[in-house]
Amino acid sequence: MELRLCSLNGMLQMAPTSAPYEWIGIDVGSKQLDVYDKVHQRHRCYGNDAAGIAQLCQDLSNRAHCAIVCEASGGYEQAVAHGLSEQGFRVSVVNGQRVRCFAKATGTLAKTDKIDAVKLAEFGALFAPKATILASAAQQQLQDCVHRRQQLVDDLAREKNRRKQLKSPRRRWMAQEVEAHIEWLEKRIKQLDEQIEQLSTQQQQWREDKALLTSVKGIGPVVSTGLLAYLPELGQCGNKQIAALVGLAPFNRDSGQYRGKRSTWGGRAMVRSLLFMATMVAIRHNPPVKAYYQHLLSQGKAKKVALVACARKLLVCLNAMLKQRTPWQDERYSAHFVRAEA
């Protein structure tokens, strides 16, 4: 039995493994895939398109114990990750910052596509990251619609701000242009809402999960659909793990006798944005969340700190709801917030 290093809560420890993989690192670019085979110490390039991915799958078809690790590259990794996964390969999509810190820790300060592919393969061999559960075609479509809607909502807010600045008669033509764009954005957002609602009701599991989430005062159709699309792990993880995934887990900053302020870091920005929207409503209209928020303020906590704490506690409750398949009940979930006050 071979021993390998693995990472647990940011620390290194030895862990056994009886089935080592042949790790392959892929540095993903918009047009090119730099692939490094650690076993054969070989580097090759493929196009980041259908033909290139098909050729890569063909070249790896005789590798039974092959495992691929690549970085999350703003969506450019989606095609190759799904293509390899559909062919039965073990694919891990990892945070690029972790790999870059690993490269620096090993003394590699230079950065090229070829070097990144090598470091990705070495990172995989050393830490053996878990296989990434990729979104299905339906989930991907739902994610795309939710993401597109958010983009249009941001554009709408900017256009409304521009409209306020165009009150001069000399700029009336520009005001009309902006007004026409606002009307188009509002119409398109409404169409996307209908499409998102239709997609989120196609599968029974999604319908049931959405019904549970919307039973919470503060969570409506948009937030519930966004959580289902961008946080499929909800209801399947422990409380600490789900908070870390979203980026709401406080990290220590201590050294010797120094005790620094705890702060959150990383995680999924889109999920945090949706969760903060829900929390802003919940601290006004959801009795347990409102009571917890007021308690934190009475203890001298800053409003932003109290808001983050409420968002984390709300996330933990949502995770428990989906895990136990029970809707929100003020009396039941008040206990979660009461324990937090102690």
Number of structural domains in the chain:
3
156 within domain boundaries:
yes
194 found inside a domain? yes
Within this chain, do residues 145 and 25 fall inside the same structural domain, yes or no?
A: no
68: tokens are: 């691929």
Residue 81 lies in domain: 2-127
**What pLDDT is recorded for position 335?**
61
- My answer on whether 102 and 119 are in the same domain is yes
Kindly state whether residue 255 falls inside one of the protein's structural domains. yes
**3-class SS string, the chain:** CEEEEEEECCEEEEEEECCCCEEEEEEECCCEEEEEECCCCEEEEEECCHHHHHHHHHHCCCCCCEEEEEECCCCCCHHHHHHHHHCCCEEEEECHHHHHHHHHHCCCCCCCHHHHHHHHHHHHHHHCCCCCCCCCHHHHHHHHHHHHHHHHHHHHHHHHHHHHHCCCHHHHHHHHHHHHHHHHHHHHHHHHHHHHHHHHCCCHHHHHHHHHHCCCCCCCHHHHHHHHHHCCCCCCCCHHHHHHHHCCCCECCEECCEECCCECCCCCHHHHHHHHHHHHHHHHHCHHHHHHHHHHHHCCCCHHHHHHHHHHHHHHHHHHHHHHCCCCCHHHHHHHHHHHHC
Do 9 and 108 lie in one domain? The reply is yes
Please check whether residue 8 lies inside any domain of the structure: yes
Strand 11-17 relative to strand 2-8, pairing: antiparallel
> Is 182 domain-assigned?
yes
Total residues found in the chain within this entry: 342
Assigned domain for 132 exists: no
Shared domain check, 167 and 189: yes
Measured between its terminal Cα atoms, the distance across the chain in Å is 46
Domain stops at, among 102, 127, 152: 127
**Last residue within a domain, chosen from 108, 127, 146:** 127
Q: Are both 193 and 278 inside the same structural domain? A: no
Q: Are residues 35 and 96 in the same domain?
A: yes
- Asked whether residue 155 is assigned to any structural domain, the reply reads yes
Judge whether 262 lies within some domain.
yes
Same domain, 113 and 173: no
Q: How far apart (Å, rounded) are the C-alpha atoms in residues 6 and 28?
A: 24
Q: Are residues 196 and 220 in the same domain?
A: no
Among candidate residues 169, 202, 235, the one where a domain is terminated: 202
Tell me which amino acid residue 202 is: Q
Q: What is the largest CA-CA distance in the chain?
A: 80
Together in a domain, 19 and 35: yes
CA 224 to chain centre: 15
What type of residue is 52? G
pLDDT per residue rounded down to tens, the chain (342 residues): 344 444 434 434 444 443 588 999 999 999 999 999 999 999 999 999 999 999 999 999 988 889 999 998 888 999 999 999 999 999 999 989 999 999 999 999 999 999 999 999 999 999 999 898 887 888 888 888 988 998 999 999 999 999 988 888 888 889 999 999 999 999 999 999 999 988 888 888 888 999 999 999 999 988 998 898 888 889 988 888 899 889 887 777 777 777 767 767 678 888 999 999 999 999 999 999 999 999 999 999 999 999 999 999 999 999 999 999 999 988 877 766 655 544
Is the domain of 156 the same as that of 62?
no
Indicate whether 123 and 213 sit together in one domain. no
Residue 19: CATH number of its domain: 3.30.420
Tell me: do 153 and 269 sit in the same domain: no
What's the whole-model pTM score?
0.73
